[in-house]
Amino acid sequence: MTAADGLLADLDAIESWHLEFYQDLHRHPELSFQEHRTAGLVGDRLTELGYEVQTGIGGTGLVGVLRNGDGPVVLARADMDALPVREATGLPYASTAISTDASGQETPVMHACGHDMHVTCLLAAAQLLADHRRAWSGTVIALFQPAEELGTGARAMVEDGLAALIPQPDVALGQHVMGLPHDTVASRPGPALSAADSISITLHGRGTHGSMPHFGIDPILLGSAVVMRLNAIVSRELAPGHFGVVTVGAFQSGSKSNVIPESTTLLLNLRAYDERTRRQLRAAVERVVRAECEASGSPAPPEFDYTDPFPVTDNSPQVHDRVSAAFAEHFGDKAVLMEPSTGSEDFSDIPNSLGAPYLYWVWGGFDPDEYRRAEAEGTLASTIPGNHASTFAPVMEPTFRTGAFAMTVALLSYLAGSTAP
């Protein structure tokens, strides 16, 4: 029996508490940087387990440190924030919460991305390690991060002095529940999630009456030309097979049919698997926009506002080799190679700032038979809700068990090399 087997055998004894905790978090979701209740519950539990707890890092972030003799220092992270989504799952523990967002608007709130499951699984792993200190040696850092959905929570913790508050980690670990079978754990070396940028671009024209377009400079026509040219960047400027995304998600201009407006705003999203391509896409977007403005005789230069930056999640091959071997030992053929995702995460801002290699993996939250039937019928998109959908609802069990197992196994792949006295 391995050290992980001994710990995981005790999950039954603590499972009911954690499932109740999960349902409570799901009923009481909190928006980014508003995770006060969640952080308080987590901090109280970590303190009871014997962790050294520090709160209020980057706003609502917190860490718990458990020192257990000599050995590696391993950081494990879970994100805590929910989304401005009205829940439509029909679950008995569904959220009916209403909150006020950063702009002062009231909005329904839901854990539509599984962060409540992430928190619960990391707490379970933290408890198993605290309850079985003779099975491992080293230091565990359980980090609970705010505002992942904004892409700024990890940086907020870093900029608030995270490095000075914790031991220097040797490795960092993170995981995410996804629309996969709940018996599946998937990881990969190298780029796993894309970098992302959102850009608000303001194009300036000269307003006039719709019957006299020759007296104005039409920013709607200008914006249309920009959109058409932007959609050629990936197909004409990136090498075939080289990943990149340029999406125009919003085109905002005008208010009346017979008025040519003063300006147009475009909202863009860019994605890439490496910083070189990310810079290439940004430069191409700005070049195209400036050229079209010049061609249209725009009276003022365009304005670019970059927001919601997410880093590339680029897994360490060495960490992947070690953790994936432990996954294979415990999950068998259900430990699979993860396909690169076009989604984005800010987790890597933490290990990158601390100089620690890392691994970020995913696991499933849905019935395997239903998933494989939908896969065979080609109906996955309509059958299995995606993250951020109002119907996203992981099967509570055994999704929790798989996530708690995966995090515990990953932690012990580093910590169980020696035994504490």
Which amino acids are annotated catalytic? Answer: 81, 148
* Range list of β-strands (E), 213-324: 244-253, 259-260, 263-272, 303-310, 313-315
Contacts 24+ apart (CB under 8 A), 95-99: 95/26, 95/27, 95/28, 95/29, 96/27, 97/27, 97/28, 97/29, 99/30, 99/31, 99/34
H/E element holding 165? helix 162-165
Task: Please list the residues that pair with 251 across neighbouring strands.
Answer: 266
- Rounded Cα distance between 90 and 5, Å, is 36
H/E element holding 197? strand 195-204
- Rounded Cα distance between 287 and 190, Å, is 30
Phi-psi region of 22 (alpha: psi -120 to 50; beta: other; left: phi over 0): alpha
Which amino acid belongs to residue 247? T
Q: How many CB atoms lie within 10 A of CB 411?
A: 29
> Strands 61-68 and 138-145: what pairing?
antiparallel
Task: Please list the residues that pair with 313 across neighbouring strands.
Answer: 193
Helix (H, G, I), strand (E, B) or coil at 274: coil
Q: How many CB atoms lie within 10 A of CB 83?
A: 21
Contact 98, 120 (CB under 8 A): no
> Strands 171-181 and 358-366: what pairing?
parallel
Helix (H, G, I), strand (E, B) or coil at 281: helix
